[in-house]
Amino acid sequence: MEILFNIGEKYGLWGICGLVVCMGLFILFKWLGSKLSADMESGLEKVGTKLTEQMSKQNDTLTKVIVEQQERLLDHLLTEKKANQSRHNDMINDKEDLAVDINNYLKDIMNIHNSQRAYILEFHNHNENLSGTPFVKFTCKYEWFELKDGYEPLIGNCKDMAFAAIAQVFKDVRTSKNQCVIYNDLEKFGEQNPSLAYYLVKQNTKTLIFKGLYDKNNVFIAVIVLEYNHIINAKDINLNKLHVQASEITQLINLRYKYDE
């Protein structure tokens, strides 16, 4: 009150009015500032709440999508695994059933071409080195001969052999005109293929004929071998007939033809 009295004495009524107006404006501005700050805080809280709700909804949607995708992927993997297992079992059953047919077919080939033994050396992967590169090996999977001829079976003995043992024969067959090679000089054959000759060349072995077996993708998968106890030349063999027989027996040993269709 003393301040108002002093201002009144010095400036009169207009001074007091000016002071009142200034104080009113000060109070008004302070009130407006408080209200604006409160409104801004309220607005930010609403925005934050909406953003939180939106993010929560998006997270729920994303989680639902991920779960659904994982469930579909799991169902697909389980279905594929079951299908592969079923396919594998079917192939084993078919392989067992076809073994008799393949043996009979080898017997027919042996008799038609007048050989003393017929067998199939099949290429396959088995184990791998430390860098993960698989080894290519070969095994005598099918064989036919007459017991009276005194042959020792290759099945069980010629098994999981390193590809290096047959590499030269593989190259000779692959680069030959009819994918068929006749070896009469077995001494030279032994010098070029010592490991293979150890198993294949016996006292009565005079000629070996190797015919390549190729799948429908032209992959060299096996060789059929005819063994003779006498010298055989190309003119003594019906190469066209052997070529047809090789294609037919490939259909039997390679079951992927059936299951890839």
Q: Where are the domains of the chain?
A: 1-97, 113-259
Share of the chain above pLDDT 70, in %: 67
List, for residues 79-97, the tens digit of each pLDDT value: 776 665 555 455 555 556 6
Partnered with residue 142 across adjacent β-strands are: 120
Assess if CATH 3.30.450.40 describes domain 113-259: yes
Q: Which two tokens stand for residue 184?
A: 């009469």
Q: Which two tokens stand for residue 159?
A: 């098994």
Q: How far apart are CA 230 and CA 102, in angstroms?
A: 25
224 confidence band (pLDDT: 50, 70, 90): very high
What pTM does this model have? 0.63
**Is the model more confident about 63 or about 178?**
178
- Mean pLDDT over 179-190 rounds to 96
